[in-house]
Structure 1
Amino acid sequence: MERHPPQGQRTVHCEDALAWLEARSVLDGCSLITSMPDVSEFPSLTVAEWKEWFVRTASLVLSRCPDDGVTLFYQTDVKKDGTWVDKGYLVQKAAEQSGHSLLWHKVVCRAPPGNITFGRPAYSHLLCFSRGLRLDLSKSTADVLPQAGEVTWTRGMGVQACLVACRFVLENTSTRTIVDPFCGHGSVLAVANSLGLDAVGVELSRKRAKKARALRFPFGSEEPSDEEGPEPES
């Protein structure tokens, strides 16, 4: 009989992610996996102002990771006013400024290769950083994921990407708690718990925080929910 790891513990805080992070120092025993908000969620900011916010916030997220842990960002670029906004570059800019090294950068396909997309590209970035951890290059894994997997809402992180991120933490670090400061519906938290990892989420929306507390993996066969509007992924 196949044995499954016991479910990990979960806590979801309904509050502002920046305030929550700023109130804490380094999160010992934790790795962080998150997807930060898109420019569309800040209608009062110009693109240039949002970029400054994004880099500053990524730096804050990275600063709370212990040296033996990793920080992973799942981000989808956007095409804005006839230009391409590269979130992978913005995250790497923050990491370079804060002394974190890029361990790997995976491309996650959101649509089959060869398809044309408009507001967003057909792939997302999955980037992994650490200040102290280094990898054995003989144990590399696939750089391109053929699909992101099931999502629970339009801005959610696909389940296949969640599994890759959480398994990497489990197999390559000593940290056993996953923190997602922008947890949305809680896909990362649910997948982490299914692998036996504890999880902590932060979510400003009371409705999404409630979902994040309840979500279990596997998610089921429901279609992704658009109840909060067809906003772009982060």
Structure 2
Amino acid sequence: MSTTASTSAPQRKPSKAKILVWILLVAIVAAVAIPILIARANSTPEVPEDVGQLVRENSRVLSKAPDEQAVLVEFLDYECEACRAAYPFVEDLRAEYGDTVTFVHRYFPLPGHRNSVNAAVAVEAAAQQGQYEAMYQRMFETQAEWGESAEDQSALFRGFAEDLGLDMAAFDAAVADPATEERIKLDVADGEALGVAGTPTFYLDGEVLNPESLEAFRAAVETAATD
């Protein structure tokens, strides 16, 4: 494999506005990390013996690279504003590097969000019918409508599933099945064991990413994708 970055396509530099968004994103993650750690510490979920895996066989793969050179893992919360801010940037990376970078998502609903678990359960229920990508995109595209709501938004999420043409009996069964939420809790347990304290948290080829800007993030992905 070549160790030189590909020059077959022009490089797209992030705008100053996007860099400011990334700086804000990092600040938000730092601000919520301490209360999240406190809330997690006060709970005592069952911890599996093999806790701390970055990727599991049942992890939700957003897209599998046909010529995989790297794996980018994101721990996310669908009600997290910082995750929403990162969403279009991640989609840009997928468009550019999807042939060589596999994108994996891990659920990490934050305790301070009323509908973070409900959203994750709805996305997982849709994923069980092969509609993970469509449901995850719908969550972020509509987050401004339901995020930070004090009311249960499960009915709205069910409407998203109907719009996607899912088998609603199967969807409802998956939402009601305790195994669906347990699947999400396993992601959380892995994240906590790895040291994840806020969202979004990214790992590139097993190493946590702490870029100072979108440009640095893109450069890290490009290097991994072309090595």
- Between Structure 1 and Structure 2, which shows a larger proportion of strand residues? 1
TM range (shorter): under 0.3
TM (norm. structure 1) is 0.27
Larger Rg: 2
- Between Structure 1 and Structure 2, which shows a larger proportion of helix residues? 2
TM (norm. structure 2) is 0.28
- Larger relative contact order (Cα-Cα within 8 Å, sequence gap ≥ 6): 2
